[in-house]
Amino acid sequence: MHPALKVESLSKGYDKQIVISDVTFSLQEGEIGCLLGPSGSGKTTLLRTIAGFEQVLSGEIWVENSKVVSRGFSLPPEKRQIGMLFQDYSLFPHLTVFENVGFGLRSMKNPQKKGHIFDLLVTVGLEEEARKYPHELSGGQQQRVALARALAPRPRLLLLDEPFSNLDVTLRERLSMEVRDIIKEQHTTALMVTHNQQEAFAIADRIGVISEGQLQQWDSAHVIYHIPANGFVAAFVGEGALLPGTVVDSRRVECGLGILEGSFTSPCPTGCSVDILIRPEDIIHEDDSPLKAMVTHKTFRGPNILYALCLPNGDSVLALVPSHHRHNVGQKIGIRPQVEDIVVYTRGEVCAGIPDIHEGHEFQVHC
């Protein structure tokens, strides 16, 4: 069976500057994919290339069993049968909600068309607002109209460009669940672009992490978080620290936390210098543990507190501790590492100069 979307060795650039380089991935029918990356990483350009608004340098794009982009060929956007949900929704202000949703249904005959539009409005819960104009709706409602409009012609693929970035934080989470349910209910294949990992985790079956035009990893949320393919993914998704260490044998590695035992995510020869990814939840707080670390910084998070800790050898880790364990900066607390799969990167593979993207937490710090 053909995948619903297949992107192969896609590259794109503007005046000598490469924006997308050699991107390959595919989505199965009914799957929701998500391109996650910092701003300027090329993820929106990639989306617009799939929609047909940008031309490529090389590579191919397939939607279901038809080729929409290949060398010297690009199907115009209106012929691709791809729906798009725009960041600013781009509802047509001169048309009612009903007319907006029906806009892409020109070939459909009237009684059937009306029924189809109404069904969709019921799906997104806006059947009451059918006669209103976009400016009379709230931001969340506008977005659902835009979704219904994009879904109405039953596109082969739905693209979503930062769909929740215009909504306030409280609305965002609820709406992203709603949107996921609607897309799943319509059995539509979808690809979303976002810079917000919570959104990606909530919606996507597959996540692609993009940086500087390159697809760093294309996997499920679980794998992306727990076995990040490289240092950039490790740094961009979730929190944590990279500890320098040395491989002792095929299951053990020595670092500032002592000797850690478990299975390595990638094989490393004995004696090799590595960086080990330690997530905050990998550090357990135990008062009577022999290993003590000093609190250098704390952030209250409600159910728990994120502590930045200084290990005896001067390396630094993050620990997520239930918030009734209150310690002050400067205090020494007992900790115990709990890792089964050890994420290791051989030294040098870690990207140099990881951007400071985690609310001011340095990724690899010495105290």
Partner 1 sequence: MPQSEALHRRNAADFSFFAFRNIIHRIDGWRVAATAVAGLVAVPLFVIISSLLSPTRGIWDHLVANVLPGILTNTAWLVLGVSLGTLLLGVSLGWLTGACDFPGRKTFSWALLLPLAMPAYVLAFIYLGLFDFSGPVQKAFRTYFPQSGFSLPDIRSTAGVITVMVLALYPYVYMFARSAFMTQGKSSLEAARTLGLTPTGAFFRVCLPMARPWIAGGLMLVIMETLADFGAVSIFNFDTFTTAIYKAWFGFFSITAAAQLSSVLVFIVFSVILLEQLSRRRMRYTQGGGLGLETSRIKLVGRYSWGAFLFSLSVLLAAFVLPCIQLLLWTVEVFHLEFGNRYFGLVGKTLFLASIAALVICFVALVLAYAKRRHKDKYTFGLTRVATLGYALPGTILAVGIFIPVAKLDKVIVHWMNALFGYEASTILQGTLIIVFTAYLVRFMITGFNPIDSATQRITPNIDEASRLMGVKGFSLLRRIHIPMLRNGLLTALILVFVEVMKEMPITLMTRPFGWDTLAVKIFELTSEGEWERSALPALALVFTGLVPVILLMRESEKNSSR
The residue ranges that bind partner 1 (CB under 8 A) are 51-53, 76-78, 80, 82-84, 86-88, 90, 92-94, 103-104, 106, 133-135, 149-150, 153, 155
Whole-number minimum distance, CB 30 to partner 1, in Å? 20
Whole-number minimum distance, CB 42 to partner 1, in Å? 15
**With b meaning 16 or more CB within 10 Å and e meaning fewer, what string describes 199-237?**
bbbbbbbbbbbbbbbbbbbbbebeebbbbbbebbbbbbb
What gap in Å lies between CA 234 and CA 225, rounded to an integer?
A: 7
Q: Report the residue number, 106 or 324, with the smaller CB distance to partner 1.
A: 106
Closest CA to 136 of 181, 93, 199, 166: 93
Whole-number minimum distance, CB 353 to partner 1, in Å? 29
Whole-number minimum distance, CB 65 to partner 1, in Å? 20
Q: Report the residue number, 53 or 300, with the smaller CB distance to partner 1.
A: 53
* Residue that the structure tokens 């609607």 belong to: 182
* Residue that the structure tokens 């219904």 belong to: 148
Q: Report the residue number, 51 or 224, with the smaller CB distance to partner 1.
A: 51
Q: What residues does 69 pair with on adjacent strands? A: 61, 74
Q: Report the residue number, 39 or 328, with the smaller CB distance to partner 1.
A: 39
Tell me the helices (H) and strands (E) count for the chain, helix number first.
8, 22
Closest CA to 24 of 63, 59, 70: 59
Whole-number minimum distance, CB 7 to partner 1, in Å? 18
Q: Report the residue number, 117 or 283, with the smaller CB distance to partner 1.
A: 117
